[in-house]
Structure 1
């Protein structure tokens, strides 16, 4: 795999050399002065550029051909001032007609202002660590905003845990800081904080991958995505900043501009890869060998084996080519006082597993209005309706487990009920075809603000927002399915959530003299969330016709369940930015949070930070150095917190338990948790040293950071004595560290008619558990992927996500001593494991060890953008190196029992004539013994996105009645280099959980997509 990384040094990117220039002839307009304004790089006309005669009130704008003319009494020569948004203003003296004026893009103007917590700041004055999604990646078609982060931000590890349409991702900013509490970053959408803690909106009814709440946001509405990483940047969010903060800003209307924009694409998806399995004949031989090993008669005669043939390829039956489409339309308009944006979106993605999919309807209204020069108002309002047909949990495992000798349908055309060759497996095609497993979500997000300028530089701002979620989940398992109880089973669930936020801030910006600049912010915020969950179910219906719509007709009623919870947060915040002579910059931030989630004696926490930056390029000894455009050194330190645990963990609670007295069921209650008045925040201390360097007129831009994070007072659910009546309780114990390096290198390789830019991003993080409290060295978490031997461990000195199992030591051969083996019926061809303590026997207590972890050694992405005339090409490559994946599926389906479907690797299984192999003999032992034999290298290099587009010349577009038009084709996940044998190296069975990460147990596989799209503006 290491050799594959060198491919980055030899990548040869396709360059488009075909250019099309549309030639038209325009009659000469007689005037005192006429001319044309064009883009310096593309030579395309600039529509709407302003041309003013200096010192006068005379001014005009360019037309659709970029042309302008003056007919005044002003005598030549005179000076013109030419300007347009996004271009450098130009002054030039003209003395006759015609005149051709070129404007160059003002890159600095477009990127100089950063969105930071509770405001904006000039990039040259910023002291923290912040990364922004590159423009070329924002334009790529994705389902949700979290997908944009993958490979686009240094220090962000993004894992797409499931290929299920609408499913969420796991995002880690500079590593995981917590073991049990939340590790996801805080998302702030147009000023409203949204925590994507478990990545799911779930009332507990739907089986299968959780649906991502961020998928309700239309990516084409997004203007910018900025990621705050160090403590100086995130401390303004205090108790919610330990895992990083992602600021999402949506598009808004602009003054004196009106446009209608339509974006659309349509494509097809296919599964990235399938797993080679034994066909029917090959499986028949395996079945006979397993029976023979147990001393039983073979199932098939040789004649029957010859007749089995290929049989059923269950993966071919389950996977399909699936369409994906997206349509977005937006209208922007603006006057001197009012700017607005209205947009609508329809997105539909069918799954590569039959009968799965996701669709979204969404709309947005953004308004900004200036009542006076001092008072302005703004609002952001969005609504969405999403629907997901979710692949039932375990169905991919059943696809692999079904034996190939079983047909999908019987002789009567009905679905085969199940496979019963030692392990009863439900027909997965019937399951996906007949089960109803759906999630419907309505979401309304509003945030409005009023801002008043009290005096010059002093501004007060009040905002009020709300996030309302209504989620419904329905499931029905018909009586005809094997997994159904008698008469079918139905369940319904709902979740309602109301989250409101009020923020009140006052800011003061003032420059004293030529050298002293102050930017002061203070504020008070309050937030509260209330949630309700309800579930009900029934079974044994007289008919399947009503599905989940008539629970009362079921004769067996599942006990209904309901719950309600709420939490609230109050905060005080302050920030001081001070700059001296644009050389020495200081930032001091503090936030105090009071959270209802913590104990009565420990509800409040204070989170300070400080940062210093030195603009070295503004020093006299470098000011005249033309090669150095800018050079900045940054240093920061601070404290942030984590409150992401379920409410009420610090209080004494009672739970309902029925008891039987005298053969009578009597309701009762018993304690389910004890009061812990001292339960408080996880606290993360972080130090950051960074530099920003721009060379050769900003042609080369390098950002580098090194950091250290230590999280203490971990929120751990620890065992307590059984005599207490409980098993565990939350306490503040233990610590975890993360340390790493981040590099981002952006280069402008060629400029002019042919333009080539590159963006290389490198991240390396090292995670380690420092302490688990009370002298505890390790604990083994319950693995939700299996009920057999756990595969993970949390151990002091090791990273989170460590795998804990036997070490594979080959296979026993004839004449070996089998007495040390932990396996019954050990003989030649059985698996052998290392005796780590050399006591002559293999035991779970003494011979299991850490055999790797899911943490990558580094992440690397490489984006190249090419533009030639009207063509553009983006090639985005993403990679991960050094992470391990526990392939639980391989452990299960390489057993060789003949009870289930089997991996094709069993063709190389041990036999008396094939002893030089790592695959054990066929044996009727249904228990998988976990060893590093199934811990695989998860490294990969993936062509994540390749996009080729063509923009119509403006003259052609205007002839068609358009302001602009672009068509493109794109491919996603087209090529992957990996040694991993599963469906996809981007996998995590347990979603966003820090425990047991990197486990593959039949995950909904990822997809590769080819699509075509169009962007037009009227």
Structure 2
């Protein structure tokens, strides 16, 4: 038989194959397609990414919104741009393809949420994660990103530390969990790197809350901030997630031509409110009335304001000391671009803010950042690098800590300063008084340098399995110099006072390594997402303090070589080590049923050898019931419905380092040591068990969203100082007590697309929180050091007060109940508790857009109680206008100089009488911007130009009669929310 594979046959087969492939190649020849991309108003959109689906080939539209790309007739092109809906169009042999993109309505599937070690979407999340984006952050004239969160998230309370820039705000995510103030800080993650945000210690007027290390971040460089709240979201962070987790993600570059964005704004801040104080004639009338009531003849010793000081002088002390305007200037520039495989972004900024106080206090900040994102053409390898660096300088003067004293100054009091700016003493000394602003000439300069670096490498081993490693490093250095010249104090005591300087240096550095394996696979209707990894972290803290005295001249203060005496203050160095193993298994069935399991085993060097490791975990589940077949066409107005819930535990190791060890300090004599702390190697982690149930609904094709959540968090095994009998030689020892703190409440969030047309767009969001904090139990509270601080069954943030019983009919003075009839008033008589927490709080945010105009505003509100501002009724030297108008009684005691009247007043301010409604509604932010027409700008090389005006804390609606209802404590003289106006311009080219 003849072999069928003859050369002739083989040649014929080769020709057939050649004809087939050349025919196919001919039918698939590539050519150039071109076109333009515009929005619904006809304006060109530069920077749109145009990609050939199934390949890594793509391009971006230029400044005119046009593109050119090599394609084949059977290709499909994807058009994507942030803020617009993605479109996919088949080429179908076309050579010209013009596209119009519509604004994105932020469908649930499209809203990507950073959950820390992984990402999810609003539709699929099983945990409670709140998010705000750059458009809500970047225009706010604030120093710290925490300040920008006020009123924008349910369950998140941010309280300002003070009006001074750089002071640390206080943030609570779903309430206070720990009895210790230092045990309530959330975990901060910046681009994957844990960041120690504990306020820095200071000797300056920022000392009330400390210095905020987050101040060195640039708000204009932040892409988003996510806050993780429930167990499902936080348990993967284990011991670090007990008080919630705050994820800060910085902006990245976009593929395409290099673009430059510059933004500059300027404005000023001022104190928005004043307390109505007495004029000189009114004040003198009140003073004379007091002497008449007492039947006492005024003399130069007891009535120097009536007989010695000028009766016609009148000074508005509020205007004198915080009536100035704090100038604000900010400049920001960024450069971004890249290819489909490599993107980059660089950013730099400068901020300067003055002070409302006299004396030249000011704040300066400069920041820089760089982002590099690269992936290989086969999408197997990727590299993400982020580096941020910030420096700031905060100059403060002594007045910040002295402000409450101005409310006790008589309007006809002598001048505080001489014409040359020095403190005036003569008229004060003549009547045996100290100048109330001694210490004003003290100054502090705090310099901070902060670097956060992160590198993430990942490689796809095979389909669905990826290995990645995260490397991070942070380094923060702070240097503070406080100068106390002797001219700041009474010269009569000159021989006992000398020039003095206080130096405080601090360093925080940490590194972290986190190798991880992630796996993703779809098996029919089953979707699986798994993650496993480990964490190794080390943190170093150093702090050194030195005080120098005996400087020859004021100009030498601060030069320690010129001091005649040096004394060492705080000096410590601690190392904190942490390691963990963590894992996550996420599953879904038919994109309808979701289950999320997380777990973590943590080890912390802050506990003794036998207590260092602990296990934490959570389970989260969700059911999208609108995907059920029985829901089809049943409720046409209900477009989305999901039930979700979670339960789990997280831990807390926020205590000092080495606390489980004995410590010793040197004795006065040579070579001696004495014990300073008692060891307890047995204490261990605080544990926070979290429960949540929630429902998410979408109505009318998702034009309206409603989220309702109920949460209950119980923090136990509280780490506190356990009281010891004096015979032990120690007052307390660090220990775990079976005290339980519970936070529970309701959170409501709504989002509505009220108008969504070609020219008009109106979106509105509301968040509302109804919280409740309670000390559920505390064993042997009566024998603890907290007996005069807490009460079982009451919130942690309470004040214990006397019981007020009206005006004594015999004396005419305030009367306080002596509960135990022992003839004196003490803590045993404080039987009334006053809750100082917000009863509810929230915010209402709106964005309105008409063609090129954009208007955004946010109202912040809270229901609470606070103290009267300067409750002076019945006090000698009353200053409030209302006290002058109420001289004839009205439920208050008569003005008197008698000791019983003074004692009555000092006691009554520790009752409920001075408390009043401090609820408020505040226009927190208002921004109006206009984008100039694009076509004329492009002729001069400008791609986009926007001008804007912004207002912060514009007005507050409240019945509260103090300075600021948000800070309605301490007799209501504190204020933190300055009114700010800025205007600026943003240019892209």
State the TM-score, normalizing by the size of structure 1. 0.85
- SS of 2:136's partner is helix
Of the candidates 477, 492, 499, which is equivalent to residue 484 of structure 2?
A: 477
**In 2, Cα distance between equivalents of 1:302 and 1:499:** 58
The answer for the alignment partner of 1:683 in structure 2 is 687
**In 2, Cα distance between equivalents of 1:855 and 1:276:** 27
The answer for the alignment partner of 2:215 in structure 1 is 215
**In 2, Cα distance between equivalents of 1:168 and 1:58:** 48
**In 2, Cα distance between equivalents of 1:793 and 1:32:** 77
Cα 1:471–1:266, aligned 2, differ >3 Å: closer, same or farther?
same
Instruction: Tell me if the contact between 1:611 and 1:636 (Cα under 8 Å) persists in the aligned partners.
Output: yes
**In 1, Cα distance between equivalents of 2:605 and 2:384:** 31
Of the candidates 91, 100, 110, which is equivalent to residue 102 of structure 1?
A: 100
The answer for the alignment partner of 1:390 in structure 2 is 396
The answer for the alignment partner of 1:831 in structure 2 is 814
1:732-791 deviation digits (Å, cap 9, x = unpaired): 11110010011110000001111111001001110000122236488657xxxxxxxxxx
The answer for the alignment partner of 1:822 in structure 2 is none
The answer for the alignment partner of 2:117 in structure 1 is 118
Instruction: Tell me if the contact between 1:208 and 1:391 (Cα under 8 Å) persists in the aligned partners.
Output: no
Instruction: Tell me if the contact between 1:803 and 1:886 (Cα under 8 Å) persists in the aligned partners.
Output: no
Shift of 1:282: 3.7
1:542-593 deviation digits (Å, cap 9, x = unpaired): 21111212x3444454444411112111111111101111111111111111
The answer for the alignment partner of 1:668 in structure 2 is 672
State whether structure 2 residue 797 is matched by structure 1 residue 801.
yes
**In 1, Cα distance between equivalents of 2:516 and 2:54:** 41
Cα 1:723–1:136, aligned 2, differ >3 Å: closer, same or farther?
same
Instruction: Tell me if the contact between 2:134 and 2:223 (Cα under 8 Å) persists in the aligned partners.
Output: no
**In 2, Cα distance between equivalents of 1:59 and 1:730:** 62
**In 2, Cα distance between equivalents of 1:878 and 1:156:** 12
Instruction: Tell me if the contact between 1:566 and 1:647 (Cα under 8 Å) persists in the aligned partners.
Output: yes
The answer for the alignment partner of 1:727 in structure 2 is 731
Instruction: Tell me if the contact between 2:801 and 2:833 (Cα under 8 Å) persists in the aligned partners.
Output: yes
Cα 1:71–1:480, aligned 2, differ >3 Å: closer, same or farther?
closer
The answer for the alignment partner of 1:8 in structure 2 is none
Cα 1:340–1:56, aligned 2, differ >3 Å: closer, same or farther?
closer
The answer for the alignment partner of 1:153 in structure 2 is 153
**In 2, Cα distance between equivalents of 1:298 and 1:486:** 33
Instruction: Tell me if the contact between 1:578 and 1:585 (Cα under 8 Å) persists in the aligned partners.
Output: yes
Q: Which runs of 5+ in 2 are unaligned?
A: 1-30
State whether structure 2 residue 361 is matched by structure 1 residue 356.
yes
- SS of 2:558's partner is helix
**In 2, Cα distance between equivalents of 1:574 and 1:80:** 39
1:200-279 matches, within 5 Å, as 200-202=200-202, 210-279=210-279
The answer for the alignment partner of 2:764 in structure 1 is 758
**In 2, Cα distance between equivalents of 1:975 and 1:443:** 35
The answer for the alignment partner of 1:896 in structure 2 is 875
1:540-939 matches, within 5 Å, as 540-549=550-559, 551-623=560-632, 626-658=636-668, 666=670, 668-733=672-737, 734-752=739-757, 753-774=759-780, 776=782, 780=786, 793-812=789-808, 816-817=809-810, 827-828=811-812, 830-834=813-817, 843-881=825-863, 883-886=864-867, 890=870, 896-898=875-877, 902-908=879-885, 910=887, 914-918=888-892, 920-923=894-897, 925=899, 928-929=906-907, 930-939=910-919
Instruction: Tell me if the contact between 2:60 and 2:257 (Cα under 8 Å) persists in the aligned partners.
Output: no
**In 1, Cα distance between equivalents of 2:583 and 2:447:** 40
Cα 1:256–1:973, aligned 2, differ >3 Å: closer, same or farther?
same
The answer for the alignment partner of 1:313 in structure 2 is 316
- SS of 1:214's partner is helix
1:258-308 deviation digits (Å, cap 9, x = unpaired): 211112211111102122333444444444455663845344699969962
Cα 1:356–1:620, aligned 2, differ >3 Å: closer, same or farther?
same
**In 1, Cα distance between equivalents of 2:471 and 2:698:** 40
1:39-54 matches, within 5 Å, as 39-40=39-40, 42-49=41-48
Shift of 1:378: 1.8
1:130-173 deviation digits (Å, cap 9, x = unpaired): 11115642243132211122111111011112111111211111
The answer for the alignment partner of 1:970 in structure 2 is 950
Of the candidates 435, 444, 449, which is equivalent to residue 437 of structure 1?
A: 444
The answer for the alignment partner of 1:11 in structure 2 is none
Instruction: Tell me if the contact between 1:318 and 1:353 (Cα under 8 Å) persists in the aligned partners.
Output: yes
The answer for the alignment partner of 2:194 in structure 1 is 193
Instruction: Tell me if the contact between 2:594 and 2:623 (Cα under 8 Å) persists in the aligned partners.
Output: yes
The answer for the alignment partner of 1:497 in structure 2 is 508
- SS of 1:723's partner is helix
The answer for the alignment partner of 1:821 in structure 2 is none
**In 1, Cα distance between equivalents of 2:50 and 2:541:** 57
The answer for the alignment partner of 2:80 in structure 1 is 84
State the TM-score, normalizing by the size of structure 2. 0.88
**In 1, Cα distance between equivalents of 2:200 and 2:971:** 19
Shift of 1:383: 1.0
Cα 1:330–1:797, aligned 2, differ >3 Å: closer, same or farther?
same
**In 1, Cα distance between equivalents of 2:499 and 2:101:** 70
Instruction: Tell me if the contact between 1:356 and 1:389 (Cα under 8 Å) persists in the aligned partners.
Output: yes
Which one scores higher on RCO, CA 8 angstroms, separation ≥ 6?
A: 1
Indicate the RMSD between aligned Cα atoms, in angstroms.
Answer: 3.3
**In 2, Cα distance between equivalents of 1:262 and 1:47:** 17
Cα 1:478–1:867, aligned 2, differ >3 Å: closer, same or farther?
same
1:128-139 matches, within 5 Å, as 128-133=127-132, 136-139=135-138
State whether structure 2 residue 326 is matched by structure 1 residue 322.
yes
Cα 1:102–1:908, aligned 2, differ >3 Å: closer, same or farther?
same
Shift of 1:33: 10
Of the candidates 309, 332, 336, which is equivalent to residue 332 of structure 1?
A: 336
Instruction: Tell me if the contact between 1:207 and 1:390 (Cα under 8 Å) persists in the aligned partners.
Output: no
Instruction: Tell me if the contact between 2:548 and 2:563 (Cα under 8 Å) persists in the aligned partners.
Output: yes
- SS of 2:351's partner is strand
**In 1, Cα distance between equivalents of 2:619 and 2:833:** 40
- SS of 1:447's partner is strand
- SS of 2:790's partner is strand
The answer for the alignment partner of 2:499 in structure 1 is 488
Cα 1:627–1:36, aligned 2, differ >3 Å: closer, same or farther?
farther
Instruction: Tell me if the contact between 1:452 and 1:461 (Cα under 8 Å) persists in the aligned partners.
Output: yes
Instruction: Tell me if the contact between 1:699 and 1:749 (Cα under 8 Å) persists in the aligned partners.
Output: yes
Cα 1:915–1:110, aligned 2, differ >3 Å: closer, same or farther?
same
Of the candidates 1007, 1012, 1018, which is equivalent to residue 978 of structure 2?
A: 1007
Cα 1:641–1:50, aligned 2, differ >3 Å: closer, same or farther?
closer
My pick for the range that moved more, 617-626 or 114-123, is 617-626
